Amino acid sequence: MASGTGRVCHFKLVLLGDTAVGKSCLVVRFVRDEFFEFQEPTIGAAFLTQSVNLENATVKFEIWDTAGQERYRSLAPMYYRGAAAAIVVYDITNKESFNGAKSWVKELQRRGDPNVVIALAGNKADLHTKRRVEYEEAQKYAEENCILHMETSAKNATNVKDLFREIGEVMYVIDLNQMSRQLGSCPNPLLNQKGKHFRSYREPKNNDNKACC
Amino acid sequence: MEEADAQTVEENAPVAAFPWLPEGCEAMADGEYDAIVMGTGLKECIMSGLLSTMGKKVLHVDRNNYYGADSASLNLSNLYAKFNGGAEPPQQFYEALGHNRDFNVDLIPKCIMACGKLVKMLLHTKVTRYLEFKSLDASYVYRNGKVYKVPATATEALSSSLLGLFEKRRFRKFLMYVANYEHGNPKTYEGHDLTKETMNELYEKFGLEKATREFVGHAMALRLDDKYLDEPALPAFEAIKLYCYSLDRYGKSPYIYPMYGLGGLPEGFSRLCAIHGGTFMLNRSIDEVLFDKDGKAWGVRGGNQVAKADIVLGDPSYFPNKRTKVGRVVRSICFLSHPIPNTNNAESLQIIIPAAQVGRTHDIYVVMVSNSHQVTAPGKYVAICSTTVETDNPTTELEPALAILGSIMTKFDDVVDLYEPANGDGSQDHCFISTSFDATSHFETTSNDVLDLYFKVTGARLDLTINADSTKGDY
Ligand SMILES: Nc1nc2c(ncn2[C@@H]2O[C@H](COP(=O)(O)OP(=O)(O)OP(=O)(O)O)[C@@H](O)[C@H]2O)c(=O)[nH]1
Ligand SMILES: [Mg+2]
């Protein structure tokens, strides 16, 4: 069962975070490998799919970006429902957005699937001269909360693919665990979040000092 | 979008005071909109979704802190609170029923006709991509105190104990006629003119017994009363055709139902609206709709916040002065620890009790769903009975339905007023008001109300010429 070659796993992934931290830019970078200095507030990027190829499997993400319900904290439960993974984004040049990220993590823990895999992305890492959130501080918070953490730049593509790949790998392992636990059950992973009790924790690739253009 | 660019407002500058803002008030959200929608019930969410896809700037508010208004699906604690003045349920309540989050109990139970108008709207807007549906196990009808599967295929007709031997043949002939009939192709009419002939005359020609007419009219054509018998047959006939056609597509019953409850429907349309730039504010009470001196609505006020729009739309609860009470509906939400007896252990089903069977004017409806649609904990079932109130003692009117459920663990009763807009077509006052959800257990009347509302607001008919056979919207 666990040979996995050519296996395709489907997962719903949601993005959360304060406005203008770069959620849509991260998605667009990941899905289309593009970046726009003047990314319109989310419309087109709100629902996209993209795959990452792992060694013996393909992880296909159904990516839900926020779109306007988050502005007054009015996201529909549907947004969280069935989400196997979430990327909570903050802007490393904006301290307030890091506080926002922490409250989004709380919201997720309250409303999402109890076993949702959470990744914290400190975006705009290319703007390190304007940094207001230290890598160590965010890393410490991530460790305390057992969540993944990486600094990214949608602008110069640093760590964007890596972030999704990292999540993909965690999801793949969870999927295998799940498979071996409930053989022959419902094939739709979105309907089948039960029985999953894998907490993700990975050593993040240390990228704080990674040179960028 | 282009518009937003043209008038970019500096992020941190104090909010520009709009000339129309009343003394002492500030702008609600962005202040100026094309449409303000109040209440996140299904009809309002479909409307805000459609309006935003047309490029209108929409502000959608709700006084509750959850989506769905009357068409919400609630977890156990919210459900208990709603019927007990906001109180927390006692621990025994959870012990008996299960985990709070396993429950998504509809306040208004309905099933979706698989090839009906609501599905067309879901496909048209591609909201299907956000939802997952599963068919309902069965559709039943009540006769003489017992429930029977609605025989809607030739094979079922043959084996149904609902029909006598000769009636089986006649009914089968009728079903064949339904299947072959194609409106616009006179070759298939077999001498009938359904635009003139009444349904009674058609039944007569096929020699169908009164009892057969009863389940065909109420459980298949989903007529609300018997008026259709003396009207031209075509509309009811098309409804029977739709039933058979939907059944043919999905096998077990003609109905589908979303995983996690009907509350997903308004949420799905709200997502559509948000993606097209709509703004949502839950927990936002509206104190009044604002009118100019000619009585035309121009905005709404909640606290000291005001928003302006040309179109003001909402459910009747937001327009206390512009609605007429047209009746009452009684609903009982019943929790069971077993499937409904004599239904072949169906995990989900609909039962229609034709009015005449129990000496009433209005049919009684039962919708039962369970863990197979992720709306209850495993082993628990929720059956919701509803009907239009006819007496001063509404809850007793549901007794025939309660009697077929077997033992009931616990039950919540609700009697609500039904309202219709009292402001004509809204062209005078720019208020567009939906109608309360009726007692029927399907969405056909709801869909018609949305189509009417769409016409009132836009002056155009919504094009639904989409093929309801394609089960998925494209991505
Ligand atoms: N320098 C730099 N700018 C970025 C980066 N990512 C995004 N931006 C800019 O930040 C702004 C906001 O990006 P979006 O992707 O629209 O932000 P968002 O989080 O989706 O915002 P909302 O949709 O309003 O919630 C845009 O002007 C982007 O060009 C990045 O990695 N580096
Ligand atoms: Mg965005």
Taking only the tens place, the pLDDT of each residue in A29-50 is: 999 998 988 766 555 457 788 9
Q: Whole-prediction pTM value? A: 0.87
Convert B147-175 to b/e letters by CB count within 10 Å (16 or more is b): bbbbbbeeebbeebebbeeebbebbbebb
**A55: confidence class by pLDDT, cuts 50, 70, 90:** confident
Check if B264 contacts A (Cβ < 8 Å): yes
pLDDT at A211: 36
Query: What ranges do the domains of chain B cover?
Result: 15-70+262-320+422-474, 86-106+325-418, 149-250
Find, in chain A, the residue whose alpha carbon is nearest to that of B272. Answer: A67
Architecture of domain B86-106+325-418: 2-Layer Sandwich (3.30)
Choosing from A23, A25, A123, A128 the residue with most ligand 1 atoms within 8 A of its CB, the one to mutate for a pocket test is: A25
Task: Give the CATH H-level superfamily of domain B149-250.
Answer: Guanine Nucleotide Dissociation Inhibitor, domain 1 (1.10.405.10)
pLDDT at A194: 33
Measure the CA angle with vertex B365, ends B361 and B367; round to 5°. Answer: 175
Average confidence (pLDDT) over A144-171: 95
Q: Do domains B86-106+325-418 and B149-250 have the same CATH topology?
A: no
Do the beta carbons of residue B430 and residue B297 sit within 8 Å? yes
pLDDT tens per residue across span B221-252: 999 889 999 999 999 999 999 999 999 887 78
What count of other Cβ atoms lies within 10 Å of the Cβ of residue B55? 11
Residues in chain B, pLDDT under 70: 1-16, 466-475
- ipTM summary value: 0.79
CB < 8 Å to B49, chain A:
none
| Chain A touched by B9 (CB under 8 Å) | no
Kind of pairing, strands B311-314 and B35-38?
parallel
Q: What is the pLDDT of residues B169-211, one digit of tens each?
A: 999 999 999 999 999 999 999 999 999 999 999 999 999 999 9
What are the residues whose beta carbons fall under 8 Å from the beta carbon of B121, sequence distance 6 or more? B46, B127, B447, B450, B462, B464
CB proximity B56 to A under 8 Å: no
Q: Within its chain, how far is the Cα of B221 from the centroid?
A: 16
pLDDT of B317-347, one tens digit each?
Answer: 999 999 999 999 999 999 999 999 999 999 9
What's the confidence (pLDDT) of residue A202?
33
Please tell me the total number of residues recorded for chain A in this structure: 213
Which tens digit of pLDDT belongs to each residue from A97-152? Answer: 999 999 999 999 888 888 899 999 999 999 999 999 999 999 999 999 999 999 99
The class (CATH top level) of B15-70+262-320+422-474 is: alpha beta
Question: Which residues of chain A make contact with B71, given a CB cutoff of 8 A?
Answer: none
CB atoms within 10 A of CB B232: 17
Distance between CA atoms of A134 and A142, rounded to whole angstroms? 13
pLDDT at A4 over 70: no
